[in-house]
Amino acid sequence: MANFNQKRIALLVQTSTSWSRQVLAGVAEQALEKGVCEFWIEPRGFYESMTLPPDWAGDGIICRLTDQHLVDAIERRGLPAVNVSWLGTHSPKIPKVVSDEAACGKLAAEFLIERGWTNFGVVGYPPRLNYSGQVERAFCERLATEGHTTSSFEHQSDFGQLNIGDQLSSIAVWLLSLPKPVAILVWTTTIGHEITLTCRKLRLSVPDDVAILAIELDPLISSLAPTPIAFIDQSPRQVGARALELLLDLIDGNAPPGEPILIPPRCIAERTSVGTIFVQDTMVRNAVQFMRDRIGFPIQVNDVATAVATSRRVLEQRFEKALKCSPAEVIRRSKLTHAMHLLGETALTVSEVALRTGFLHTETFLRFFKREAGVTPTEFRSKSPKVRQRAFEED
């Protein structure tokens, strides 16, 4: 039976990036729960202008507020609107629901500090895109409280792309000038991908010489890089869900919030690009590398000891001294991280994930995952943004 009280919502959000699609998936999930919306949307690329059809009549708008022309168009319609982008300013006419930029920058800095990096770089937003730079500022400020300085790559003043473009030679010179090892915060996962390729040409190791952490969330681009790129999980689905909640409130006549609604980032999505182990003990480093290389095999501590030509007892003593944990703990943690990655970002069955994580029997993997993660693989996968996104795409 048709619901004639449904609100008609225009979605002026690009569909070409993982971040934007997850925001839209969050909107869809919230709409499914509320059961009160029908949507107008057109596929759009990142560089395309967002516009409303002249003949569209609706109740409200969720937008990525890219330019003044869009602001003017929305205001002429006189409709409630919510902005989900870091672009644009918060106002009573178009309030913002966005990931907390300062919290993203601080989280990135604390993650890298805790893991032992002391040299840092930033490849920030391209100037023509007109972002605020608040993420990078918060990142540098948090590092400064620990006495660290940060080297920033200077884009060409008229540059406005999501990748490095024709600046690759300048990036190469900048990378070579940095003290090593260095951890670099980059604006997009695509830039991180390009830096990994540049490091290969320069014979720099990722992550041991150059670690890379992206501000932008894009699991697909990350997985396509020679070394998968870590990124900040900005909670885009929560942004979308909260944006629809606010828009429905505005449509009902409620007052807009005086300040932007800031959604905290979930976590750092750890990938190989930040997987450096900072220890002086060569045996421990070699042992950890062996564990990584054999992640898909059912290795035991004795296998690791044999690989580095020592006894199990000596290996355990060296790990305790260097890492304050046992080799067995590192093996478990590595396998759990790899399993979470496969569950969250591939369509592999649980049995296939078990095999690729070195478990010959699915039942053993299920017990391991439940014990280490606190949930079953199926429960973990049901909460994974990429898997939920795939379900919406299939519908």
Only one residue has tokens 């991180």, namely 192
Enclosing H/E stretch for 193 = helix 189-201
The residues, any chain, with a CB within 8 Å of residue 322's CB and separated by 6 or more, are 279, 280, 281, 284
Average pLDDT value for the chain: 88
Whether 92 shows a pLDDT value over 60: the answer reads yes
List residues bridging with 81 in a β-sheet.
61
Whether 105 shows a pLDDT value over 70: the answer reads yes
User: Cα(163)–Cα(216) distance, rounded to whole angstroms?
Assistant: 12
What DSSP designation does 39 have? E
Whether 393 shows a pLDDT value over 60: the answer reads no
pLDDT for position 60: 94
pLDDT tens-digit readout, 214-257 = 999 888 888 888 888 999 999 999 999 999 999 999 999 999 99
Q: How confident is the model at residue 70 (pLDDT cuts 50, 70, 90)?
A: confident
- Look at the alpha carbons of 155, 158, 163, 166 in this order and tell me if their dihedral is positive or negative: negative
Backbone angles phi, psi at 232, to 5 degrees: -85, 120
Do you know the residue count of the chain? Answer: 395
Whether 1 shows a pLDDT value over 80: the answer reads no
**How far apart, in Å, are the Cα atoms of 150 and each of 105, 117, 163, 167, 179?**
13, 12, 21, 20, 11
Instruction: Outline where DSSP puts E strands in the chain.
Output: 7-12, 37-40, 60-63, 81-83, 97-99, 120-123, 150-152, 182-186, 210-214, 230-233, 261-263, 267-269
Side by side, the strands of the sheet bearing 60-63 are: 37-40, 7-12, 60-63, 81-83
pLDDT for position 138: 97
The residues, any chain, with a CB within 8 Å of residue 272's CB and separated by 6 or more, are 206, 207, 227, 228, 230
Q: Does 101-235+269-274 carry CATH code 3.40.50.2300?
A: yes
What DSSP designation does 282 have? H
262 vs 6, which has greater pLDDT? 262
Q: Is 0.85 surpassed by the pTM of this model? A: no
- Segment among 188-192, 267-271, 278-282, 288-292 with least mean pLDDT: 278-282
Whether 46 shows a pLDDT value over 90: the answer reads no
pLDDT for position 166: 85
The topology (CATH level 3) of 282-394 is Arc Repressor Mutant, subunit A (1.10.10)
pLDDT for position 383: 67
Whether 388 shows a pLDDT value over 50: the answer reads no
Whether 390 shows a pLDDT value over 80: the answer reads no
Whether 208 shows a pLDDT value over 90: the answer reads no
Question: HSE of 185 in the Cβ direction (CA atoms, 13 Å)?
Answer: 30
User: Cα(292)–Cα(7) distance, rounded to whole angstroms?
Assistant: 51
pLDDT tens-digit readout, 108-157 = 999 999 888 999 999 998 888 888 899 999 999 999 999 999 999 998 88
The topology (CATH level 3) of 7-98+236-264 is Rossmann fold (3.40.50)
End-to-end CA distance of the chain: 20
Whether 173 shows a pLDDT value over 70: the answer reads yes
pLDDT for position 384: 56
Residue ranges of the chain that CATH labels 3.40.50.2300: 7-98+236-264, 101-235+269-274
Q: What is the mean pLDDT of residues 43-70?
A: 86
Residue ranges of the chain that CATH labels 1.10.10.60: 282-394
- Look at the alpha carbons of 375, 373, 103, 133 in this order and tell me if their dihedral is positive or negative: negative
Q: How confident is the model at residue 34 (pLDDT cuts 50, 70, 90)?
A: confident
